[in-house]
Structure 1
Amino acid sequence: MKETKYEFLKLLRTRSFSIATIGFPVMFYLLFGIANKHLVAGDIQIAKYMMAGYACFGLIGAALFGIGVGMAGEINAGWLEVKRASPMPPVACLFAKCVTAIALGLIINSVLITLGVTLGKVSITPSEVAMMLALAVPGSIVFASMGLLLAQVIPANPAPGIVNIIYLPMSFLGGLWIPFSQLPHWVRPIASVMPTYHLSQLMLGVFGRGYRFDDVSTQTHWLSLIGFACLMLGSAWAVFSRKQQRS
């Protein structure tokens, strides 16, 4: 718990991280969600749709940058080796980073929901709010596993740029910025296998099937995310074990 506390404080006090991680989804939502609050597509309120999309965008960014970029820097600086040599349980470091990513995801979701209700005039029930916040927990964990793999394979200095190259196209293809139905037809088969797509479908499903892109079952989206997380964790463990053998 102490490691979690100081990991959270470290990221909040790193202004370049906290302002960007929390500020970007909020800024984009103000520009594209709140600014279009009067637009309605059938029964879909654009501000409500965008709120779900940028909630996913924010929690994914918190996980990838907080763990992927942050841990890559710690590995490069040798700080991770110092922690491993200390009496602290080895799992405490990873636990702290995952809980911190979840906490940041919850903060981002809470801010977006508040903006949606107050400025965007979004109609949302308490149960929908609870479901959105609850979904931020497994969503953060899934992409924290991806961040863990990236931390093992990318150098520290170019890590932010590399993560952005991966993160931004995945967000676009997942329908986090624009509806999946408006993507080019040749892109949709690629987009439908993205983990961001499956997370966005679950988040949009909180508001009812009318907000969903497809008729795929909720179970399929959950199984896809679980499979992706297992793949990332297995790959991260394989890379870590190989490094240990070499050293």
Structure 2
Amino acid sequence: MNVLIKLEIARTLRNKKFVFFSVVYPSVLFLLIAGPQDNSVVTGTGLPMGAFYMVAMASFGALTAVLMGNSEKIAKEREKGWVRQLRLTTLPGRGYVLAKVAAAAVVTLPSILVVFVVASISKGVRLDAWQWLALTGVIWAGSLCFAALGVAIGYLVSGDAVRPVTMITYFGLSVLGGLWLPVTSYPRWLQDIAEWLPTHAYAGLGQAIELGGAPHLKDVCILVAYFLVFAGGAARLYRRDTLKA
């Protein structure tokens, strides 16, 4: 299993297009969205513009790495027969999934840190040392929820359909969850929906830390609940795919 994890990490890092969209793209978006605006407080959050979008884009970058990477790779490898070949070895099924998550996690951490550096330099975001460490930890750990979703999508759809399905899910969750725009700018009915989305809870973890407190219990529970649903779905779809092989 360790060999496969190293192989997956090496393959991920060699994919320049994937690394760009996972690591560089979120920072570029931060500069495009937050850069031209003043650092006034975002309505309803208590956070200045720079701090708000720093967490939003760091979360967006982590989401990109684990969701886009896992779903497309798994769907295409199923189609090419690579997953079937691995089942003929002694590698347990969980080992294959773990290797995918580990490879995505390696890219997730740089994507978070690069956004932090860019926000600190361009918008003057300043936090205590414990806040930087806590932010990195919760955004990195929270990405596991979307890693599980990526695995589920990879086993749910074919190689031809995986990209459009993933993109719709990816942009839908990002926009509706408030990673690109504050949900306070949405109509009331849309705000009510956004509050129960995993991306909104995900960003909420970091925003609470920036305000000097602990993540809200509601956000933690929502994210854990979605993780259990996504992981359970991924496990069921994996078993179904095994029976078909």
Give the alignment's TM-score, normalised by structure 1. Answer: 0.90
Corresponding residue for residue 155 of structure 2: 152
**Correspondence 1:220 to 2:218:** yes
Match of 1:132 among 124, 132, 135: 135
1:16-39 superposed Cα distances (whole Å, 9 cap, x missing partner)? 211122222111011112332544
Corresponding residue for residue 26 of structure 2: 25
**Two-structure CA RMSD over aligned residues (Å):** 2.1
Corresponding residue for residue 77 of structure 1: 80
Which stretch of structure 1 is more off in the superposition, 81-90 or 138-147?
A: 81-90
Code of the aligned partner of 2:179: L
Corresponding residue for residue 98 of structure 2: 95
Structure 1 residue 158, shift from structure 2 partner = 2.9
Code of the aligned partner of 1:154: V
Match of 2:241 among 225, 240, 243: 243
Code of the aligned partner of 1:133: T
Structure 1 residue 142, shift from structure 2 partner = 0.8
Q: Is the 1:37–1:121 Cα contact (8 Å) retained in structure 2? A: no
CA distance 1:123–1:37, change in 2 (3 Å): farther
1:188-234 superposed Cα distances (whole Å, 9 cap, x missing partner)? 12111111011111111111179x9xxxx712211111111111122
d(CA) in 1 for partners of 2:107, 2:139: 9
CA distance 1:168–1:186, change in 2 (3 Å): same
Identical residues among aligned pairs (%): 22
Match of 2:229 among 222, 228, 231: 231
Structure 1 residue 41, shift from structure 2 partner = 4.3
Unaligned residue ranges in structure 2 (runs of 5+): none
d(CA) in 1 for partners of 2:99, 2:167: 23
Match of 1:50 among 45, 49, 53: 53
Q: Is the 2:152–2:233 Cα contact (8 Å) retained in structure 1? A: yes
Code of the aligned partner of 2:116: I
Code of the aligned partner of 2:206: M
Q: Is the 1:60–1:139 Cα contact (8 Å) retained in structure 2? A: no
Corresponding residue for residue 110 of structure 2: 107
* Equivalences, count: 242
d(CA) in 1 for partners of 2:65, 2:144: 11
Q: What pairs with 1:184-203 in structure 2 (closer than 5 Å)?
A: 184-203=187-206
Code of the aligned partner of 1:244: T
**Correspondence 1:10 to 2:11:** yes
Structure 1 residue 133, shift from structure 2 partner = 1.0
Unaligned residue ranges in structure 1 (runs of 5+): none
d(CA) in 1 for partners of 2:16, 2:103: 16
Q: Tell me, what secondary structure is at the counterpart of 2:36?
A: helix
Q: Is the 1:174–1:191 Cα contact (8 Å) retained in structure 2? A: yes
